[in-house]
Amino acid sequence: MADTIFALSSGAPPAAIAVVRISGPCADAAVMRLAGALPEARKASLRSLQSTDGRMLDRALVLWFPGPRTATGENLAELHCHGGRAVVSAIECELAAMDGLRRAEPGEFTRRAFANGVIDLAEAEGLGDLLSAETELQRRAAQSAVSGSLSAKVEDWRSRLLSLSALVEAQLDFEDEDDVGTLPDMFHVELSELLEEWISALNAPRAERLRDGVRVVLAGPPNTGKSSLFNALLDEGAAIVSAEAGTTRDVIERPVALGGVPFVLVDTAGLREDGAGEIERIGIDRARAQVERADIVLWLGEEGEGPEGAIEIAARSDIQASSKATADYEVSAVTGSGVSNLIEGLISQAKSILPQPGEAALNSRQSSALSNALTAIQGVESGDDALLTAERMRIARLELDRFLGRHSTEDMLDALFGRFCIGK
Ligand SMILES: Nc1nc2c(ncn2[C@@H]2O[C@H](COP(=O)(O)OP(=O)(O)OP(=O)(O)O)[C@@H](O)[C@H]2O)c(=O)[nH]1
Ligand SMILES: [Mg+2]
């Protein structure tokens, strides 16, 4: 029999209210021990919680959800108690002392939900992203995965693939009778429709892009105002600014949400060939590596000397007329002029490289499963041997199952659920 687990599922105390969750076969016994009796199912009931030796622990709202129609698929209880440290700790100690109960590991409630088929893997991954979402765009994408729209799409692909597999199997039966069956035209039409949908899903921006933020690297020769503009975009004095060339030596990164879009702003050492000391040269190498990794480069050097596709910035517009014939933005870090225009430009460019708002994007695990499925059926040709086609279809089906977590390994599940917090 599975252990019954418990954990503080709300934030760290002290807080106004703390929610302790208990899940597993002994959850009902635990509630009866603490509250005297099981309250009515799915109704909040105010109860006194008592220790086994009769001490009053707290007055709390108790919720009782009998399994299997619960968030974990098991018997589940929630105690909404006062959020003081000592209150929570007294209740946790009482639970820990009960037979069959133990503290939950990180993500263990969600892992049980997955094990009991309450959610599939794509929904669990969406939930992980929702909990770590810090910007509006991240929240909307994660919400869409949690709500199951991504899973529904994959289920639809899977059932279409199954119907097509059935046609191939039927042809195989024919062949047994020494009669060479051919696959109907609609088989190839529908298969290529599936292929197109998969290719477009694989070409869409990845979920990790949204999680990690769009990397905007400020680059250019020394003393061109990179650090000043970095600070102006962040609205804080994160980087040292000085009239000395070669002030910035190392890479400075700051995550920032601009207009609900996650960015990572990166300030770098000024690029120059001569005159740089050993430390600065290391900084310059790092700056070049950052430019390579960038999604967007803001170029503060001479026009056309930056990397391809860089945004041309004419900096220090308050004191110097732009030497650039066609600067994309003229900005002054000192007066702030042009900075909000630049931010708007960054937001609109970022949106084009991020998943669309509200659309669940594939993460790298999901896209590897889908691209394996694609490879398997891309090879299906009209004149192919039915046995070979059937095998290709079977591999594609297995990969879609992997996408949904129907064939997931323990290691992968450990890695996924380990990034959840305790109590989730
Ligand atoms: N008036 C004015 N001065 C600026 C502006 N931006 C930067 N400066 C000045 O230009 C000098 C260099 O600015 P930094 O931001 O340190 O330049 P940097 O490109 O980061 O320089 P390195 O780190 O050495 O590569 C400093 O004296 C700043 O005060 C601006 O918009 N207007
Ligand atoms: Mg600098």
Statement to judge: residues 19 and 103 lie in one domain? yes
Q: Are 109 and 21 in contact (CB under 8 A)?
A: yes
pLDDT value at residue 377: 92
Statement to judge: residues 323 and 366 lie in one domain? no
As a whole number, mean pLDDT of residues 269-298 equals 91
**Phi, psi angle pair for 193, to nearest 5°:** -65, -45
Report d(CA 185, CA 244) in Å as an integer: 72
pLDDT value at residue 209: 86
Statement to judge: residues 21 and 110 lie in one domain? yes
pLDDT value at residue 156: 95
| More confident site: 95 or 353 | 95
Statement to judge: residues 222 and 328 lie in one domain? yes
Residue 79 maps to a domain: yes
Please tell me the distance between residue 252's alpha carbon and the centre of ligand 2 in angstroms. 9
Residue 180 has pLDDT above 60, yes or no: no
pLDDT value at residue 28: 97
Q: What lines the ligand 1 site, CB under 6 Å?
A: 222-228, 241-243, 245-248, 269-270, 315-316, 318-319, 332-334
Residue 212 has pLDDT above 80, yes or no: yes
Residue 57 has pLDDT above 90, yes or no: yes
Statement to judge: residues 172 and 230 lie in one domain? no
Residue 419 has pLDDT above 80, yes or no: no
Tens digits of residue pLDDT in 310-324: 999 999 999 987 778
Taking CA atoms only, the protein residue closest to ligand 1 atom 16 is 241
**Residue to probe by mutation, ligand 1, list 223, 291, 332, most atoms within 8 Å of CB:** 223
Statement to judge: residues 367 and 396 lie in one domain? yes
What length is written for the chain? 424
Q: Looking at the CA of 252, which ligand is closest?
A: 2
Residue 382 has pLDDT above 70, yes or no: yes
Q: What is the pTM of this model?
A: 0.75
pLDDT value at residue 210: 87
17-21, 203-207, 266-270, 298-302: range with lowest mean pLDDT: 203-207
Taking CA atoms only, the protein residue closest to ligand 1 atom 21 is 223
Which pair of tokens denotes residue 92? 């946790």
pLDDT value at residue 418: 76
Residue 422 maps to a domain: no
**End residue of a domain, out of 326, 353, 380:** 353
Residue 424 maps to a domain: no
Please tell me the distance between residue 260's alpha carbon and the centre of ligand 1 in angstroms. 28
Taking CA atoms only, the protein residue closest to ligand 1 atom 9 is 225
Taking CA atoms only, the protein residue closest to ligand 1 atom 13 is 225
As a whole number, mean pLDDT of residues 133-161 equals 90
Residue 136 maps to a domain: yes
Please tell me the distance between residue 149's alpha carbon and the centre of ligand 1 in angstroms. 48
Statement to judge: residues 235 and 270 lie in one domain? yes
Residue 72 has pLDDT above 60, yes or no: yes
pLDDT value at residue 183: 80
HSE-CB at 16 with a 13 A cutoff on CA atoms is 0
Parent domain of 54: 4-115
The domain tally of the chain equals 3
Sheet holding 261-267, edge to edge: 252-258, 261-267, 214-219, 296-299, 311-314, 329-330
Tens digits of residue pLDDT in 213-248: 999 999 999 999 999 999 999 988 889 999 998 999
Please tell me the distance between residue 305's alpha carbon and the centre of ligand 1 in angstroms. 19
Nearest Cα residue to 24 out of 57, 82, 67, 78: 67
Report d(CA 316, CA 260) in Å as an integer: 27
Statement to judge: residues 346 and 235 lie in one domain? yes
Statement to judge: residues 376 and 344 lie in one domain? no
Considering the chain, what is the average pLDDT of its residues?
A: 91
